[in-house]
Amino acid sequence: MKIAIIGTGNLGKSIAKGLITNNAITTLYLTKRNLKGIQDLDGYKNVILTTDNIEAVKQSDIIIFAVQPAHFENILNDIKPHLTEKHVLISTITGFLIPKIETIVGADQFIIRAMPNTAIAVGKSMTCLCSNEKGAKRIQIAEAIFNRLGHTLAIPESQMQAATVVCASGIAFWMRLIRATTQAAIQLGFDAKEAQELAMYTSEGAASLLITNGHHPEEEIDRVTTPKGCTIEGLNEMEHKGLSSSLIQGMVASFNKISNIKKEQI
């Protein structure tokens, strides 16, 4: 696949690493105005670093956009004259809706929105996908790309804002939970390195149980909570302090912030 990533910052670089590691490219153009931050990707076979978005578009079939929302419209206007029937446009931009992309480049383009997360760098992204009417004919291409780099779910665009919070911001939320667990483990006597090891692999095990068994989390919790035991004592104390409530409220705040980002673009 001839792929271009327009805007190789935090997310774009994570996607690039995933694509390179998984041998998922024929050619990969990576663009950025200042190439300094991606020099470490220079030298990989068939990977081209450039500041020239138009050249990257001309040489590629699949264009993945990963710039900040405020930069997207100008970039679309710049590349628009160079778009052809072969191009599939995949936007990862938060809050930038498909109808708005269509007003810039036209509804006759294959347009897909993808919401991956930075775990794409290690092939573990939960990526939600949606498309315009024409893009529905190419959604399998996006699924093929992102399934190699994790797990995908096709959703209506109306759920994309929620998917951004749960999956994309979700990486940061889970990191904070893992960090807090690590801090507790240190307080309970482990050194910092061991504490993080315990936190990381325990969280991986918890997620793997749900993925493998298809159970509800409470079913797995029931297997751990010995009556009158230490687990239920700890869990109930966490809930008295608002664990679930604060997570839910934080995610709703994150969701509402995206609504404001969208308004700022109008």
Ligand X SMILES: NC(=O)C1=CN([C@@H]2O[C@H](COP(=O)(O)OP(=O)(O)OC[C@H]3O[C@@H](n4cnc5c(N)ncnc54)[C@H](OP(=O)(O)O)[C@@H]3O)[C@@H](O)[C@H]2O)C=CC1
Ligand Y SMILES: O=C(O)[C@@H]1CCC=N1
Query: What residues line the site for ligand X (CB under 6 A)?
Result: 6-12, 31-34, 53, 66-69, 71, 75, 92-94, 115, 117-118, 168
Minimum CB–partner distance for residue 71 and ligand X (Å):
4
Minimum CB–partner distance for residue 192 and ligand X (Å):
25
Minimum CB–partner distance for residue 86 and ligand Y (Å):
29
* Plot region of 232 (φ>0 → left; ψ -120 to 50 → alpha; else → beta): alpha
- Pick one of 168, 185, 195, 199: the residue that binds ligand Y (CB under 6 A): 168
Beta-carbon contacts of residue 155 (< 8 Å; ≥ 6 apart): 128, 129, 130, 163
In the list ligand X, ligand Y, none, the entry touching 7 (Cβ below 5 to 8 angstroms by class) is ligand X
Q: Read off the amino acid at residue 236.
A: N
Write each residue from 60 to 99 as x if it is in contact with ligand Y (CB under 6 A), else as -, in one continuous string: ----------------------------------x-----
Do the beta carbons of residue 185 and residue 195 sit within 8 Å? yes
Q: Looking at 125-133, 136-144, 161-169, 209-217, which segment touches ligand Y (CB under 6 A)?
A: 161-169
Beta-carbon contacts of residue 259 (< 8 Å; ≥ 6 apart): 95, 161
Q: Tell me, rounded to whole angstroms, the distance of Cα 146 from its chain centroid.
A: 10
Using CB positions, name the residue nearest to ligand Y. Answer: 168
* Residue 241: both structure tokens together: 């302090």
Helix (H) or strand (E) holding 178, with range, is: helix 170-187
- Pick one of 53, 60, 169, 182: the residue that binds ligand Y (CB under 6 A): 169
Interacting residue ranges for ligand Y, rule: CB under 6 A = 94, 164, 168-169
